[in-house]
Structure 1
Amino acid sequence: MSETVIRENDGTYAMINVFDVEPEKQQELAEVLSEGAEKFIRHRPGCISVNILTSLDGKRLVYYAQWVSKADIKATMGDPDVQVYRDRAAALAKPDPHAYTVFAVHHPEN
């Protein structure tokens, strides 16, 4: 995997999946998703990076993956090994996945 960089108009795609999770299940969900990313997703063609963010209140988890193409995302989601982790995650929390492109990036002035 490469480093996560967010830029406008770079041609990449982001798959962002926001999970609503019970606080007592957030850690387990993060571990399941991290395991799936380590074992399978990061090795898939077109994968740039996978990032897993956990909310401080324990009620949400954001899965942010960058991809070279929408076709790479679709092919990965069709992989039976990946589907096992998708299903395990869905048993722990309510997922809401969508593909995105970057509209704008703003940085403070130096």
Structure 2
Amino acid sequence: MTEFAFRATDDLVTLINVFEVEPDKHQELLGVLNEGLEKVIRHRPGFVSGTTLAGKDGSRVVNVAQWRSLADIEATMADPAAQEYGRKSAALGKPAPGVYSVASVVTAP
């Protein structure tokens, strides 16, 4: 199993994109996002990690990607191959992207 962790000490930028999706398009959207991560995004400069979360009720999909810098995110969004996956994803669900930094992390004792 691969571990995904947020650490407040990391100097990373996190892109979180929450998609609202019809349940009958849920699996297709997951497939497009995962294909884009594997074929394009993971090979981009500054990419650190990507995680896709599937809403249990089928109405949301969350894509989380950690990057070295905001400039790396912006350069990737300008890449035609990444834009193609963005269009495919947006055709399946309504995206709401945002860029974040980790402010704090609390773990179990």
Instruction: Please give the range of the TM-score, normalised by the shorter of the 2 chains.
Output: over 0.9
4+ residue runs of structure 1 moved beyond 4 angstroms? none
Q: TM-score, normalised by structure 2?
A: 0.95
Q: How many Å separate the matches in 1 of 2:13 and 2:3?
A: 14
Aligned to 1:52: 52
Aligned to 1:94: 94
Aligned to 2:25: 25
The number of residues matched between the two structures is 108
Q: Over residues 28-83 of structure 1, what are the superposed CA-to-partner deviations in whole Å (9 max), with x where a residue is unaligned? A: 00000111110010000000011110001000000000001000000000000000
Aligned to 2:4: 4
Change (3 A) 1:108 1:4: closer
Q: How many Å separate the matches in 1 of 2:39 and 2:105?
A: 31
3-state SS, counterpart of residue 51 of structure 2: strand
The one-letter amino acid paired with 2:84 is V
CA root-mean-square deviation = 1.2
The one-letter amino acid paired with 1:31 is G
Structure 2 unmatched runs, 5+ = none
Structure 1 unmatched runs, 5+ = none
Between the aligned residues of both structures, percent identity stands at 51
